[in-house]
Amino acid sequence: MPKDSTGYAKSSKSTCGKCNKNIEKKTLRIAVLRKIKGIKTPKWYHEQCFFNNDFRVGEINEFEYYNTLDNKDQERLKNKLEALFCSAISVDPYELNDKTIERNENRRYHKAVLSEFMVEISANYKKTCNECKAKVLKGDLMMRKLVYDEKVGEFYTNYHVKCLSLTDYGVYFAFHLNDLPGFNELSEENQSKLREQLNMNEDMPDSICKKIKLDYDVKDEEKENKTNYHLVLYDKYLRELSNVTKKSFELLCKQNYMRLLKGKDKNVWSKCDYRTKTPSRKCMEIPDEILQEEVFRSYVPSIGVRLFCDEPIATAVKLNNNVLKTKVKKEAVSLPLKNVQFYLYRYDAAEQEALRRRILKLGGLVTSRIVDTLAAVVTTKESLEKPSRLVNQIKRLDIHVVDEAYFAAIESSENMKVFDSLALIEKYKIAEWGSDVSTL
């Protein structure tokens, strides 16, 4: 769903969400979109008031109807968004654009971006990292990102600090971390740990800056010319159609199976979230009755492909980060005990906790009882030798038993695959029973 909408005020009745004054008819207005009772509902702002706010602004592809604006308005809006984006990652917008955004605006916008994130110490083992899908350990630093979903509303997704820093969001954490919610509540030690894990070395902002400039310089001039031509053409069609009488326009719509939406009908339109840049098209037919009208006389309908402006900067950074992303994915795949289940038997609380952390770190899981999907029970030789009902049960179910040495072996070998880790159980088993685990 688009985050924002834009267009020209149809009347002077709408009021601005920031200054509460009316938005004059025909002036450009920008809205923040939210779904209320299933209907897309805009909150409108003056252009200036919209950019002079403390919320995060969407990227250009999140702006509904952006492509229906006048050429010069599109250009200005695009420049403002680019400048905002640069300010959010602390690149000096003066070098890329005219003085669209004042320098002191940068920090404020950066703060608005950071307000959608927070950092905290994970209180339990329940949170799963949205990037690598492994658990975030209790007591470790955890980053959270506020996301919006149409069905459930706003909620937080969780990340390992390192995992988040390698996503597209990573660029936002180069400066002013004390604007990050939760940061000031951390101990000094954790604050520097966070800095370290975000990998904020001195040359990072610089390299990003260079990358952006590079992509900005080599933007496709030919495509831009074509896109501009389409914009001019669009303006021209709009202008000419405004001279067509209502009756002729209705005839034209009827001939082409189109219907003008009025009043309540518009809700149907706003409920639809389907978006495409390449809709299937039919050639327009002009009814005989209006064929002789000025506008249509020299017009020959044809099927073309509409070109849209793309956002050069956003794609540049995404490209940049995709390289990093594949790196994270590889790390995630190589978690040696990913989703492998263990049961810990007869450890005191401190030992149990320590062992559990080691297992989770390797991607494994610890169950609270004996289940038939266990890879192994973890205990010591002494505990195993003491007769008990549980040991009998493990034996009867033919479940492997390993001790701490098994995990030490996995920890000391690099890039072990899950399959190899499972095979290793056979080597480190401390009970004489146990079926072949690698066939589980």
Is 30 near Zn ion (CB under 5 A)? Answer: no
Q: Least distance (Å) from Zn ion to the CB of residue 331?
A: 8
Distant-in-sequence, close-in-space partners of 407: CB < 8 Å, separation ≥ 6 = 355, 358, 359, 362, 378
Strand 39-46 versus strand 28-36 pairing type: antiparallel
Is 132 near Zn ion (CB under 5 A)? Answer: yes
Q: Quote the crossing angle between the two packed helices 349-361 and 404-412, to the nearest 10°.
A: 30
What is the spatial distance between Cα 188 and Cα 179, in angstroms, rounded to a whole number? 15
Total residues binding Zn ion (CB under 5 A) = 10
Is 290 near Zn ion (CB under 5 A)? Answer: no
DSSP character string of 5-61: EEEE-SSS--B-TTT-PBPPTTSEEEEEEEEETTEEEEEEEEHHHHHTSSSPPPPGG
Piece in contact with Zn ion (CB under 5 A), picked from 57-65, 160-168, 172-180, 418-426: 160-168
Task: Answer for the pair 5, 43: CB distance below 8 angstroms, yes or no.
Answer: no
| The binder of Zn ion chosen from 10, 11, 19, 386 (CB under 5 A) | 19
Q: What angle do CA 15, 5, 268 make, to 5 degrees?
A: 95
Is 198 near Zn ion (CB under 5 A)? Answer: no
How far, in Å, are 1, 28, 40, 55, 406 from residue 64 at the CA level? 9, 13, 12, 18, 56
| The binder of Zn ion chosen from 3, 6, 16, 363 (CB under 5 A) | 16
Piece in contact with Zn ion (CB under 5 A), picked from 8-16, 35-43, 185-193, 409-417: 8-16
Is 160 near Zn ion (CB under 5 A)? Answer: yes
| The binder of Zn ion chosen from 69, 141, 163, 314 (CB under 5 A) | 163
Is 81 near Zn ion (CB under 5 A)? Answer: no
What is the spatial distance between Cα 109 and Cα 437, in angstroms, rounded to a whole number? 54
3-state secondary structure (DSSP) of residue 361: helix
Q: Least distance (Å) from Zn ion to the CB of residue 422?
A: 22
**Measured from the CB atom, is 61 or 157 closer to Zn ion?**
157
Q: What angle do CA 352, 356, 362 make, to 5 degrees?
A: 155
| The binder of Zn ion chosen from 129, 360, 376, 418 (CB under 5 A) | 129
**Measured from the CB atom, is 132 or 316 closer to Zn ion?**
132
**Measured from the CB atom, is 86 or 163 closer to Zn ion?**
163
357-386: which residues touch Zn ion (CB under 5 A)?
none
**Measured from the CB atom, is 18 or 111 closer to Zn ion?**
18
**Measured from the CB atom, is 48 or 178 closer to Zn ion?**
48
| The binder of Zn ion chosen from 31, 32, 33, 49 (CB under 5 A) | 49
Q: Least distance (Å) from Zn ion to the CB of residue 417?
A: 19
How many other CB atoms sit within 10 Å of the CB of residue 410? Answer: 18
What is the spatial distance between Cα 82 and Cα 86, in angstroms, rounded to a whole number? 6
Piece in contact with Zn ion (CB under 5 A), picked from 119-127, 129-137, 386-394, 418-426: 129-137
Is 46 near Zn ion (CB under 5 A)? Answer: yes
Max Cα-Cα span within the chain: 101
Q: Least distance (Å) from Zn ion to the CB of residue 10?
A: 17
Picking from 246, 107, 248, the residue whose alpha carbon sits closest to that of residue 178 is: 107
> Binding residues for Zn ion, per CB under 5 A?
16, 18-19, 46, 49, 129, 131-132, 160, 163
